[in-house]
Amino acid sequence: MKKRNAVLTLVVVIVLTIALGFMVVYGVGQDKVGAASEIKLGLDLAGGVSITYQAVGEGKPSNSDMDDTMYKLQKRVEGYSTEAQVYKEGDDRINIEIPGVEDANAVLTELGKPGQLYFIAQYDNDGNPNYNGGMLTKSIEELQADGSIVLEGTDVQAATGGAYQDELKGVQYIVELTLTPEGTRKFADATTKAVKNHDSIMIYYDGAAVSIPTVQSAITNGQAQITGMEDADKAEQLASTIRIGGLKLALEELRSNVVGAQLGSEAISTSIKAGIIGFAIVVVFMLVIFLIPGVCASLALALYVVIVMVLLNFFSDAFGLTLTLPGIAGIILSIGMAVDANVITFARIREEIAAGKTVNTAIKSGYEKAFSAILDGNLTTLIAAVVLGILGTGSIKGFAITLGIGIVVSMFTALVVTKKLLMAFYDLGVKDEKFYGKAKQGKNIDFLGKRKAFIILSVAVIVAGFVVMGINAGAGRHALNLSLEFLGGTSTNVTFNEDMAVADIDANVVPIVEGITGDGNVQVQKVAGSNEVIFKTRTLSAEERTAFSDKMVENFGVEPEKITAETISSTISSEMSRSAVVAVIVATFCMLLYIWFRFSDVKFGFGSVTALLHDVLVVLAFYAFSRVSVGNTFIACMLTIVGYSINATIVIYDRIREVLRDNQYNTMSLEDKVNMCVNQTLTRSIFTSLTTFIMVAVLYVLGVSSIREFALPLMVGIVCGTYSSICLASALWYIFRTKMAKSK
């Protein structure tokens, strides 16, 4: 019976992995349901639609009006994708880029043409009608002069489509309006006057009536409802029109294009190759080091990968998840955590075998003892992912969603699938302990004895980083090499004489641009159906713009008049930066509370957060020394390091907690206990870091320059996180513990 169940377990896991793998590659049905190719990709990986609007009217628009308009447009286009970007081009143009879309006309139709919105009273003060049958009887200027304009778009603070259940009429679709304080006052006066004869108020947008609701009651609280919508789509369409009409500026479409990936065409293919090669190396490593458990972990890891891809497809289709480079970072981190959970368990099993237990007992005991470390490490990171997903925007939200999916799936595959596979191999007769390994007593390193040296080294690196940042700032450069995402930059449009392949642009043109800018953060977007290519770089000086133009003329025969350059604003707004900082602070605080609760000792929380802060500051110092560009990849890198660092530290703290509760160690000093715990988890720390480092290192070797700028700091962060968890985290807890005890 046991052998039959064991065979069934192996068959189910292998068949399920193959079936899901087939779905990931080819999909199911004509719509390719479940296929990885159907996952929505961001502008950085796959491109999308680029629309440029120009402000119309007399004179140059003010910065405040441009900022307000950009902010409202950002909120509007986030309905298409959380990764949509809105930024300023020149003084009076606004550029919108929406990933995962290929039909610019469809977007323009759905988005609506930003124009002026008016709420117009049915009659003027003399009782003359302002409109008949949806047609105005006067010009807008005449209506403004005689006071018939009740509200303008800027008086509307928010508009949302919704529905409610009416007892008599069933489901009713409505549009709910929230007015500004000034709009509330004006609308109260207008509706009080109109309700006497149940007059209507026309909502007039872009030269046409979009709705003519009848006033049923005076509205004095700034909250209005428009009823009578045919369905949810009509309600949302009207709400969208009102929102877009609430812009401070009147805009007209200047151009719209389908553009290519910002990171270049090679970003996806090289990332996939790197993932496959890195995964293969990790599998070989697991097989060589852990033998039969390594086989089980590899099968479970393969199942993990295909489940994550299927779920990403589902979230992409159901919730509009857009996969970007930060999202890939979340997947890499979760793969590292999936391997980590297996390594923790296998190390425990080896310890149990070394203690004289049978393989069967060792497997069960190993999982029991490893459970708390796996649970706390994953839940701590999951808490951070949830907070970042709720409070974050754009790429931060994408990172959080992919990380959250990966953590949940990794816990399932590590704690359920791998265990079932291990027991299946055992029941099939693989019972000799040589197939599972036995922990060996290694040299006991006195980590705590060297804590002062470790702390001095870390402080020196962090201080040196701040010094370099100060030197950079004093020299007229930014403390860090902020990229165009933070500072804005120059967008140069080049129309080549022929339709150059994207691969040729990446290979032949981009290196020339990088040589001029001295910066690897060059974003390239090819306009579909034309010879036009857009190069986005840091802000270029007049000399650099001339050099850029000269190189295009000399090397590719481009006509000078077909090269245009415009200054563009940052794509990471101050609101997005602020929300990122708030999200990270709240996530860190929530992790601190969880660790305090689970370990019943706030000193564990202080130690883990201090180690986390150390890792972030060291990587920040690396950015200052290396001058690697600080852009969207910087946010992804820092978030990955936060998740990785806290997980590595929790494993050691879990062992310390276990030893402190075990009476057999009562005769040992606290320092000896801590040293023993660090040494017992040393192999796990090194192995986990090595597997994660391999994944990122292959990405660095094979990736394009923009991918390497993400992978290099991440490798530094992995090394730093390993160092801090081994050399600092336990020392920090020991210092907090002993110092607080003395003060008491």
Given this model, what pLDDT does residue 460 score?
94
State both tokens at 521. 């953060």
Q: Is the pLDDT of residue 465 over 60?
A: yes
Do 712 and 688 share a structural domain?
Answer: yes
Q: What residues form DSSP beta bridges with 54? A: 93, 252
Determine, yes or no, domain membership for 148.
yes
Q: Do 455 and 516 share a domain, yes or no?
A: no
| Average pLDDT estimate for 514-527 | 78
Same domain, 183 and 241: yes
Q: How many CB atoms lie within 10 A of CB 355?
A: 12
- Is 290:346 a contact under the CB 8 Å cutoff? yes
Which residue range is the domain that position 412 belongs to?
Answer: 2-39+264-435
Residue 442 lies in a domain: no
- Is residue 295 domain-shared with residue 422, that is, in the same domain? yes
Contact 724, 615 (CB under 8 A): yes
Global pTM?
A: 0.70
Give the pLDDT score at 573. Answer: 58
CATH number, domain at 82? 3.30.70.3400
What is the per-residue pLDDT for 461?
A: 92
pLDDT of residue 10: 85
pLDDT tops 90 at residue 463: yes
CATH number at residue 520: 3.30.70
CA 535 to CA 532: how far, in whole Å? 10
Residue 265 has pLDDT above 60, yes or no: no
Question: Which one, of 611, 656, 640, lies nearest residue 699 by Cα?
Answer: 640
Answer yes or no: is 531 within a domain.
Answer: yes
> What average pLDDT does this structure show over 423-444?
78
pLDDT by residue (tens digit) across 695-714? 788 878 877 666 777 788 88
Residue 741, pLDDT > 70, answer: no
Record the tokens describing residue 197, joined without a space. Answer: 């004869």
**Domain assignment of residue 483, yes or no:** no
On whether the CB atoms of residues 99 and 43 are closer than 8 A, the answer is yes
Confidence of residue 464 (pLDDT cuts 50, 70, 90): very high
pLDDT at 159 over 70: yes
Pair 322, 347 in one domain: yes
Indicate the pLDDT class of residue 609, thresholds 50, 70 and 90.
confident
Res 106 pLDDT > 90: no
Task: Decide: residue 460, CB within 10 A, 0-12 exposed, 13-18 middle, 19+ buried.
Answer: exposed
Task: Confirm whether 252 is domain-assigned.
Answer: no
Query: What does the block give as tokens for 271?
Result: 């990332």
Does residue 602 sit in the same domain as residue 731? yes
Which has more confidence, 570 or 297?
297
- Within a domain: residue 137? yes
Question: What are the tens digits of pLDDT across the range 51-83?
Answer: 888 887 777 888 777 877 777 777 677 667 666
Domain presence at residue 477: no
Q: Which residue has the higher pLDDT, 31 or 685?
A: 685
- Whole-number Å distance between alpha carbons of 566 and 539: 10
Does residue 93 have a pLDDT over 90?
Answer: no
Same domain for 586 and 624? yes
Task: Answer with the residue of higher pLDDT: 160 or 267.
Answer: 160
What's the token pair of residue 678? Answer: 């660090």
Report which residue type is found at 652: I
pLDDT of residue 309: 83
Task: Evaluate if residue 522 carries a pLDDT over 90.
Answer: no
- CATH number for the domain that contains residue 387: 1.20.1640.10
Residues 594 and 701 in one domain: yes
Average pLDDT over residues 190-205: 88
604 and 623 belong to one structural domain: yes
pLDDT digit string (tens) for 356-414? 888 888 888 888 888 887 888 788 878 877 887 777 666 677 777 777 888 888 888 88
Domain finish residue from 568, 594, 612: 568
How far is Cα 181 from Cα 215, in angstroms, rounded to an integer? 20
- Of the given ranges (289-293, 438-442, 617-621, 627-631), which has the lowest mean pLDDT? 438-442
pLDDT band at 571 (very low <50, low <70, confident <90, very high): low
Q: Say how many C-beta atoms besides its own lie within 10 A of residue 315's C-beta.
A: 19
The set of residues, in sequence order, having a beta carbon less than 8 Å from that of 364 and lying 6+ positions away, is none
Q: What is the mean pLDDT of residues 121-149?
A: 88
Residue 307 has pLDDT above 80, yes or no: yes
Q: Backbone dihedral region of 447: left (phi > 0), alpha (psi from -120 to 50 degrees) or beta? A: alpha
Give the pLDDT band of residue 115 (cuts 50, 70, 90). low
Pick the residue with more confidence: 46 or 729? 729
pLDDT band at residue 457, thresholds of 50, 70 and 90?
Answer: very high
Listing DSSP states for 574-629 in one string gives: HHHHHHHHHHHHHHHHHHHHHHHHHHT-HHHHHHHHHHHHHHHHHHHHHHHHH---
CATH number, position 121: 3.30.1360
Residue 569: predicted pLDDT: 73
**Residue 526 vs residue 167, higher pLDDT:** 526
Band (459; pLDDT cuts 50, 70, 90): very high
Clarify whether residues 232 and 281 are in a common domain: no
Confidence band for 293, pLDDT divided at 50, 70 and 90:
confident
Same-domain pairing of 564 and 577: no
Question: Which residue blocks in 320-448 are alpha helix, DSSP H?
Answer: 325-354, 359-391, 395-412, 418-427
Q: In what order do the strands lie in the sheet with 563-568?
A: 251-259, 48-55, 93-99, 85-89, 563-568, 489-495, 532-537, 523-526
Please tell me the distance from the alpha carbon of residue 638 to that of residue 720, in angstroms, as a whole number: 12
Last residue within a domain, chosen from 435, 459, 480: 435
Query: What is the number of domains present in the chain?
Result: 5
Determine the pLDDT at residue 661.
83
Question: Domain check: are 70 and 140 in the same one?
Answer: no
Residue 484 is assigned to a structural domain of this protein? no
Give the three-state DSSP class for 129: strand
Q: Residue 101: what pLDDT?
A: 67
Single residue among 68, 98, 113 that ends a domain in this structure: 113
